[in-house]
């Protein structure tokens, strides 16, 4: 008999959300509303910040006792950066919060903010990494003369000799321009002081409520039980927002409830950015197109400050460690650096660095294939890792997988020969069609060892689940993880239902509230289902064992003859049975817990994009998109497909549309949705998704993480498709987004 | 002033500059209508006003006086509306923030034109933004609900 795992059951989350009854932070009424006054310039000295009489304003002076946000890595020459919660004397990017004003309504707070007189003497700025690294560049943080916050390099002992043997060398440079995650729900926070207990309840959009709790109580000198954090949320909100600290401080000081809802302008200007990365790669290949060696050089523009807890090292270090991707590259030489600039702080955004490194590797392989006169699929076939476990030059261990087989599935679905025939015929009509592929593997569900290896002061990784089975037959799982739209309430219920022997509807998952859940780390790094799912399974199996004993005793049978399923314990082969609710009543309920801290597992996929490029308008239309993926055991295939759909859409947006643009003075130009272009239903094609299920040995549930994969693979597939389309014109484009303006520049002079 | 929403009158006092979206959320307590951009692009605040889908962030509350307004809270009559059922069946939502806007957009379109083709549905849905679903399952859910409503 099959269980609940593997079924596309509909979500428990949906009913309330569809009725407009979902809980979102901005829905909460407050006694007072707060608005931030933000720097209008990218760099400068604050000469004065004056509010009109009668307006309550908070500045750095009021927060003198609050320490700055300063996450630390003790490796790779990392120079810790301090970010004052409100600017302290100087501003370092356009949009930096300088002061906060408080009104009785949001409108009044906005009026007050407009009345604040903020005088800043502008200072020289560095907007790009090149400018910040140039000799004589302005120093953005004291003590960091070259503006390089982190750098590392590695050359394997055999690199030089392997590189010297190359029959073919291919070099390319890619550029991923700056992006924003653009969650539909902007950041929001609501801090409510309770006079009876002296506690503050902070409801906020956050992916790591427990860590926010720990950070804010430490910064404000609060006892742990003086703050409760509730986090209903979606997206872009892994890192600690300075704004939240101000909210809690204000609620404590004013002994009231106070709310802040970021508007879209502030979200695009001063929430977190990502992906501002340039990579040069050089592949050394033998005559058969096999990698002998790979060289990489990575520069990430990480903005003015460091996100907590990941630090400003996250993008350059992840690029450095994971650049080789799913390929056996032989020897490796790589240098990476993170550069501070007068731009908004860069922080983890779905895919983190991997969209850029995948673009670099996949462009390199397509160019190498062209140089060697080989099909793009063939060069990948010859280089994809086939033997597992595989240890990479940077020490990552890839668990069992089927990279080549996954790629072949995608190719078969794409009917490449059929496409080539259509492409050929279209070219005769002056229509440029292209097919592009990209293969990648994604490190997911990794525990504390991986974060310790980075030398992080804060080492996330494990998850903890507290579980009870009560006399009503309902299992309650209190999870430290914090889902925010990916359906974890449903998928965990499926896992727990099978393990305990109840129906998923009788599993209650409690999350996102530090008063009611054990400490846990939250949502990031495609980890929730893997790690929280593993911890849930551990707890559920403990309860199952005790239920079996209880049932055996109750039904006067042997443990081995008891079948627990869908709310009943029955004796196999008989009609004797008892409800699990009764067993729990007899026993006085069951309670246990699960703790899980895995090493990690690598999911993988191949994406294929088919595009049409209009060389007159320079518009690119993605006509078909195929994903073949292997994320181990699928707990709920419907939810898996949903994650891939959303990820691919963001990837296509990264490839073609979305870009944060600063002018040379550090003024940000993309602060509305008329400038920062998110895709609509028209820009995203219907997708074909194919699954393999290589059951992961490395995880409790056999599942691998996949929340980010769509975003990782899609940009490279789209860029390769554009380059394939334009090959007859001898045009290449290695920058994303490949906007009409960039394509037009590339095409100029070719017609 | 009075706002007539989901068949009920709300007596509210608002500043002239308060948008319909803010009035629904703050003055009527109908927080199912969400605000995503306040400049008319994302469509999260879409409501139905006198039969037409409108951006509630681009209309002042005072402009809506006398109009028949419908919000997501009025969609289900006890059980879920057909379109809500199809959003469940097709996994047409993830975080749920944009969902009320998409529901009201689709319901208004379908009521105005019962025989929408799939291509027309795609045109309609391209008015709003969703960041989770890649639109795949929203399109399927709306197409399925249009078929069901045609058949009944």
The answer on A589 and A663 residing in a single domain is no
Helix (H) or strand (E) holding A359: helix A354-372
Q: Are residues A249 and A312 in the same domain?
A: no
B24 interfacial to chain A (CB closer than 8 Å)? no
Which CATH number goes with the domain that contains A216?
3.30.365.10
Percentage of residues of chain A with pLDDT beyond 90: 94
Show residues of chain B in contact with A20, CB under 8 Å.
Answer: 30-33, 71-73, 75, 100
How far apart (Å, rounded) are the C-alpha atoms in residues A471 and A379?
Answer: 60
Name A577's bridge partners.
A570
Can you tell me the distance from the alpha carbon of B57 to that of B40, in angstroms, rounded to the nearest whole number? 7
Q: Verify that B63 and B112 share a domain, yes or no.
A: no
Listing from the earlier edge strand, what are the strands of the sheet with A90-91?
A90-91, A44-50, A117-122
A503 in any annotated domain: yes
> What is the number of domains present in chain A?
4
Within this chain, do residues B104 and B68 fall inside the same structural domain, yes or no? no
Of the three residues B27, B46, B73, the one that is the final residue of a domain is B73
Q: Do B17 and A107 touch (CB under 8 A)?
A: yes
pLDDT-based confidence at residue A233 (cuts at 50, 70, 90):
low
* Burial readout A414-425 (b: 16 or more C-beta within 10 A, e: otherwise): bebeebeeebee
Instruction: Tell me how far apart the alpha carbons of residues A183 and B37 are, in angstroms, rounded to a whole number.
Output: 11
Same domain, B41 and B103: no
Mean pLDDT on A47-54 = 96
Same domain, B97 and B38: no
- A635 and A575 assigned to the same domain: no
Contact residues, chain A, for B16 at CB < 8 Å: none
> Is A20 close to B31, i.e. CB distance below 8 A?
yes
B78: left (phi over 0), alpha (psi -120 to 50) or beta: left
Closest-CA distance of chain B to residue A27, Å: 6
CA distance A345 to A92: 10
Tell me, yes or no, whether A307 and A370 share the same domain.
yes
Which of B50, B73, B96 is the endpoint of a domain? B73
A360 belongs to a structural domain:
yes
CB pairs under 8 A between A and B: 161
Percent composition of chain B: helix, strand, coil (DSSP 3-state, to 5): 40, 15, 45
Q: Which of A239, A261, A283 is the last residue of a domain?
A: A261
Which of B21, B94, B145 to mutate to test binding with chain A, by most A CBs within 10 Å of its CB? B94
Q: Could you tell me which residue, A557 or A457, shows the higher pLDDT?
A: A557
- Give me the helix-helix angle, B118-125 and B136-151, nearest 10°: 130
What's the pLDDT score for residue B152?
A: 72
- pLDDT > 70: percent of chain B: 100
CB-hemisphere CA count at 13 Å for A32?
A: 24
Mind telling me how many Å the CA of A596 is from chain B's nearest CA? Answer: 26
A491 contacts A459 by C-beta, under 8 angstroms: no
What pLDDT is stored for residue A519 in this prediction?
A: 95
Q: Domain count of chain B?
A: 2
Rounded Cα gap, residues A164 and A167, in angstroms: 9
Q: What is the pLDDT of residue A751?
A: 57
A300 with A407, same domain: the answer is yes
CB distance A130 to A278 below 8 Å: no
Examine residue A146 and state whether it is found in any structural domain, yes or no.
Answer: no
| Residue A476: closest CA among A584, A370, A635, A393 | A584
A437 and A493 in a common domain = no
What are the CA-CA distances from residue B101 to residues A98, B45, B70, B73 (Å)? 34, 5, 11, 11
DSSP state, A346?
Answer: B
Q: What is the DSSP string of A509-524?
A: EE-SBTTTS-----S-
Q: Which residues of B touch A19 (CB under 8 A)?
A: 32, 72-73, 75-76, 80, 84
* Spatial separation of the C-alpha atoms in residues A691 and A646, rounded to whole Å: 16
A687 contacts in B (CB within 8 Å)?
134, 136
Chain B residues with CB-CB distance to A13 below 8 A: 96
Tokens at residue A660, please?
A: 């944060």
Flag whether residue B137 sits within 8 Å of chain A, measured between CB atoms. Answer: yes
Burial of A171 (0-12, 13-18, 19+ CB in 10 A): exposed
d(CA A5, CA A278): 42
Task: Decide if pLDDT at A451 tops 60.
Answer: yes
CA distances from A696 to A234, A237, A600, A615, A633 (A): 28, 29, 10, 45, 7
Q: What's the rounded Cα separation, in Å, for the pair A494 and A533?
A: 10
Q: Determine, for residues A234 and B132 on separate chains, whether the beta-carbon distance falls below 8 Å.
A: yes
Residues of chain B contacting residue A234, judged by C-beta atoms under 8 Å apart: 94-95, 97, 131-132
Interface test with A, best of B17, B134, B135, B142 (most A CBs within 10 A): B134
Q: What is the pLDDT of residue A750?
A: 73
The verdict on residue A5 lying in a domain is no
With beta carbons under 8 A apart, name residues in chain A contacting B77.
Answer: none
CB atoms within 10 A of CB A574: 10
Q: Which residues of chain B register pLDDT less than 50? A: none
Minimum CA–CA partner of A639 in chain B: B91
CA A648 to chain centre: 13
CA dist., res. A614 & res. A751, Å (int): 13
Q: Cβ atoms within 10 A of the Cβ of A430, count?
A: 8
Both tokens assigned to A152: 């590392």
Q: Give the domain range for residue A233.
A: 188-261
CA distance B44 to A26: 13
Domain end (from A123, A144, A173): A123
Q: Is the peptide bond before A155 cis (omega within 30 degrees of 0)?
A: no
Sort strands A188-194 and A257-261 into parallel, antiparallel or unpaired: antiparallel
Q: What is the mean pLDDT of residues A336-347?
A: 98
The continuous run of DSSP H or E covering A194 comes out as strand A188-194
The per-residue pLDDT for range A213-224, each reduced to its tens digit, is 999 999 999 999
- Calculate how close chain B gets to A221, using CA atoms only, in Å: 34
Average pLDDT rounded to a whole number, residues A477-506: 95
What residues pair up with A291 in beta bridges, in sequence order? A285
Instruction: Select from A17, A184, A684 the Cβ nearest to the Cβ of B44.
Output: A184
Cβ neighbours of B94 in A, within 8 Å: 234, 485-487, 642, 646
Encode pLDDT of A154-211 as tens digits. Answer: 999 999 999 999 999 999 999 999 999 999 999 999 999 999 999 999 999 999 999 9
Residue A275 half-sphere exposure toward CB, CA atoms < 13 A: 33
Clarify whether residues A472 and A560 are in a common domain.
Answer: yes
Q: Quick check: is A558 in a domain?
A: yes
Query: Last residue of a domain, which of B73, B108, B129?
Result: B73
DSSP summary character for residue A46:
E
Q: Which residues, 6 or more positions from A48, have their beta carbon under 8 angstroms from its beta carbon?
A: A117, A118, A119
With contact defined as beta carbons under 8 Å apart, do A529 and A522 qualify? no
Residues of A in contact with B97 (CB under 8 A): 22, 24, 183-185, 234
What are the counts of helices (DSSP H) followed by strands (DSSP E) for chain B?
Answer: 5, 5
Residues A623 and A554 in one domain: no
Q: Do A673 and B37 touch (CB under 8 A)?
A: yes
DSSP A442-484: EEES--HHHHHHTTBSS----EEEEEEE-TTS-EEEEESS--S
State the Cα–Cα distance between residues A323 and A279, nearest whole angstrom.
10
Q: How many CB atoms lie within 10 A of CB A513?
A: 18
Span A538-559, mean pLDDT?
A: 97
Q: Provide the pLDDT for residue A234.
A: 65
Same domain, residue pair A610 and A714: yes
B48 and B10 co-located in one domain: yes
Per-residue pLDDT reduced to its tens digit, A689-710 = 999 999 988 899 999 999 999 9
Neighbours of A591 (CB within 10 A): 15
Pairing type for strands A277-285 and A168-176 reads antiparallel
Q: With beta carbons under 8 A apart, name residues in chain A contacting B31.
A: 20, 24, 26-27
Which of A374, A472, A135, A95 lies closest to A262, judged by CA? A95
Nearest-angstrom CA–CA distance, A111 and A202? 25
Q: For testing the chain B interface, which of A16, A20, A523, A713 should be mutated: the one with the most B CBs within 10 Å?
A: A20
Cβ–Cβ gap A649/B95 under 8 Å: no
Residue A175 belongs to some domain of the structure: no
Same domain, B68 and B117: no
Q: Closest by alpha carbon to A598, among A684, A679, A698?
A: A698
Chain A residues touching residue B36 (CB < 8 angstroms): 184-186, 264
* A661 and A573 housed in the same domain: no
Mean pLDDT, rounded, of chain A:
96
Comparing CA positions, the residue from A601, A600, A608 lying closest to residue A690 is A608
One domain for residues B65 and B98: no
Residue at which a domain ends, from A596, A622, A639 = A596
Which of A680, A684, A706, A710 best tests the B interface by mutation, with the highest count of B CBs <10 A? Answer: A680
Question: Cβ contacts of residue A114 below 8 Å, gap of 6+?
Answer: none
CATH number where A83 lies: 3.90.1170.50
Residue A1 has pLDDT above 50, yes or no: no
The dihedrals phi and psi of A618, each to the nearest 5 degrees, come to 65, 25
Distance from CA of B97 to the nearest CA of A (A): 6
Same domain, B92 and B41: no
Pair A205, B151: CB distance under 8 Å: no
Q: Which of A686, A666, A748, A747 is nearest to A41 (CA)?
A: A666
CB contact (8 A) between residue A673 and residue B126: no
Residues A200 and A86 in one domain: no
CATH code: domain of residue B116: 1.10.150.120
Residue B95 corresponds to which tokens in the numbers above?
């975080």
Residue A457: inside a domain? no
What digits encode the pLDDT tens for the residues A79-134?
A: 999 999 999 999 999 999 999 999 999 999 999 999 999 999 999 999 999 999 99
| Contact criterion met (CB < 8 Å) for A687 and B136 | yes
pLDDT at B124: 98
Strands, DSSP E only, in chain B?
2-5, 8-11, 46-49, 52-55, 68-70
A605/A591 same-domain check: no
Q: For residues A317 and A395, what is the distance between their CA atoms, to the nearest angstrom?
A: 13
Residue A340 lies in a domain: yes
* B66/chain A closest Cα distance in angstroms: 24
Task: Give A700-751 pLDDT, tens digit per residue.
Answer: 999 999 999 999 999 999 999 999 999 999 999 999 999 999 999 999 877 5
Residues from chain A that touch B98, judged by Cβ atoms under 8 A, are 184
Domain that holds residue B14: 2-73
- Give the residue from A7, A8, A12, A14 with the most B CB atoms within 10 Å of its CB, the best one to mutate: A14
Q: Which residues contact A441 (CB under 8 A, 6 or more apart)?
A: A325, A326, A398, A401, A403, A602, A603, A604
């Amino acid at each position: 008999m099959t269980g609940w795992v593997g079924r596309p059951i509909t979500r428990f989350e949906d009913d309330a959300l569809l009725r407009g009854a979902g809980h979102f932070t901005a829905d909460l009424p407050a006694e007072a509303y707060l608005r931030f006054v933000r720097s209008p310039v990218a760099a400068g000295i604050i000469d004065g910040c004056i509010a009109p009489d009668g307006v309550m304003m908070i500045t750095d002076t009021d927060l003198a006792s609050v320490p700055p946000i300063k996450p630390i890595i003790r490796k790779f020459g990392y120079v810790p950066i301090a970010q004052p919660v409100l600017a302290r004397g100087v501003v370092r990017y356009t949009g930096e919060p300088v002061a906060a004003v408080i009104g009785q309504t949001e409108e009044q707070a906005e009026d007050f903010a407009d009345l604040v007189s903020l005088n800043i003497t502008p200072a020289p700025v560095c907007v790009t990494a090149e400018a910040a690294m140039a000799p004589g560049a302005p120093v953005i943080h004291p003590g960091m003369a070259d503006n390089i916050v982190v750098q590392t390099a590695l050359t394997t002992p055999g690199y030089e000799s392997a590189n010297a043997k190359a029959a073919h060398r291919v070099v390319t440079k890619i550029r991923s321009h700056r992006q924003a995650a653009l969650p539909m729900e902007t950041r929001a926070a609501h801090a409510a002081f309770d006079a009876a207990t002296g506690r503050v309840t902070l409801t906020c959009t956050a992916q790591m409520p427990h860590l926010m709790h720990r950070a804010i109580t430490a910064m404000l000198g609060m006892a742990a039980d003086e703050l409760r954090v509730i986090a209903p949320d979606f997206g872009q909100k892994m890192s600690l927002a300075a704004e939240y600290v101000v909210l809690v401080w204000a609620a404590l000081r004013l002994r009231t409830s106070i709310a802040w809802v970021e508007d879209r302008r502030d979200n695009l200007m001063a929430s977190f950015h990502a992906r501002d990365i340039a990579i040069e790669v050089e592949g050394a290949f033998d005559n058969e197109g096999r990698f002998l060696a790979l060289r990489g050089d990575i520069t990430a523009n990480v903005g003015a400050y460091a996100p907590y807890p990941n630090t400003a090292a996250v993008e350059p270090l992840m690029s450095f460690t994971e650049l080789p991707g799913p390929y056996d590259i032989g020897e490796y030489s790589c240098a990476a650096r993170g550069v501070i600039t007068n731009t908004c702080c860069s922080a983890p955004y779905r895919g983190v660095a991997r969209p850029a490194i995948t673009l670099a590797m996949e462009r390199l392989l397509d160019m190498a294939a062209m140089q060697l006169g080989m099909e793009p699929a063939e060069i990948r076939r010859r280089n994809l890792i086939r033997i597992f476990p595989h240890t990479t030059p940077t020490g990552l261990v890839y668990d069992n997988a089927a990279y080549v087989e996954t790629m072949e599935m995608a190719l078969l679905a794409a009917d490449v020969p059929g496409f080539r025939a259509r492409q050929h015929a279209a070219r005769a009509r002056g229509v440029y069609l292209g097919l592009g592929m990209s293969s990648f593997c994604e490190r997911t569900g990794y525990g504390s060892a991986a974060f310790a290896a980075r030398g992080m002061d804060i080492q996330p990784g494990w998850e903890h689940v507290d579980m009870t089975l009560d006399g009503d037959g309902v299992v309650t799982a209190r999870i430290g993880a914090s889902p925010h739209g990916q359906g974890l309430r449903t998928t965990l219920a499926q896992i727990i239902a099978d393990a305990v022997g109840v129906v998923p509807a009788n599993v209650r998952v409690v999350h996102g509230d530090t008063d009611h859940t054990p400490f846990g780390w939250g949502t990031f790094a495609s980890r929730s289902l893997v790690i929280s799912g593993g911890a849930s399974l551990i707890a559920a199996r403990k309860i199952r064992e005790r239920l079996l004993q209880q049932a055996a005793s109750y039904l006067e049978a042997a443990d081995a003859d008891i079948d627990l399923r869908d709310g009943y314990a029955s004796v196999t082969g008989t009609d004797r049975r008892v409800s699990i609710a009764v067993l729990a009543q007899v026993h006085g309920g069951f309670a246990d817990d699960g703790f899980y801290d895995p090493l990690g597992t690598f999911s993988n996929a191949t994406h294929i994009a088919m595009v049409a490029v209009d060389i007159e308008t320079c518009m690119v239309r993605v006509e078909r998109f195929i994903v073949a993926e292997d994320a181990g055991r699928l707990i709920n295939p419907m939810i898996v497909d949903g994650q891939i759909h959303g990820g691919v859409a963001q990837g296509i947006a990264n490839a073609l549309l979305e870009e944060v643009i600063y002018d040379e003075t550090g003024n940000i130009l993309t602060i509305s949705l008329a400038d920062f272009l998110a895709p609509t239903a028209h820009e995203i094609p219907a997708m074909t998704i194919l699954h393999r299920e290589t059951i992961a040995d490395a995880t409790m549930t056999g599942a691998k993480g996949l929340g980010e994969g769509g975003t990782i693979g899609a940009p490279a597939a789209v860029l390769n498709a554009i380059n394939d389309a334009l090959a007859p014109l001898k045009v290449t484009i290695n920058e994303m987004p490949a906007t009409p303006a960039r394509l037009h520049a590339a095409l100029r002079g070719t017609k | 002033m009075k706002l007539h929403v989901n068949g009920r009158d709300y007596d509210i006092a608002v500043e002239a500059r308060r948008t319909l979206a803010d009035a629904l959320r703050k003055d009527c307590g109908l927080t199912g209508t969400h605000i995503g951009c306040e400049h008319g692009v994302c469509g999260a605040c879409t409501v139905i006003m006198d039969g037409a889908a409108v951006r509630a962030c681009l209309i002042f509350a005072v402009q809506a006086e006398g109009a028949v307004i419908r919000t997501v809270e009025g969609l289900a009559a006890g059980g879920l509306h057909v379109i809500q059922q199809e959003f469940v069946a097709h996994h047409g939502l993830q975080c749920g923030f944009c969902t009320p806007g998409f529901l009201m957009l689709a319901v208004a379109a379908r009521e105005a034109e019962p025989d929408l083709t799939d291509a027309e549905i795609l045109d309609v849905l391209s008015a709003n933004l969703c960041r989770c679903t890649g639109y795949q399952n929203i399109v399927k859910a709306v197409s399925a609900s249009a078929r069901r409503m045609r058949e009944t």
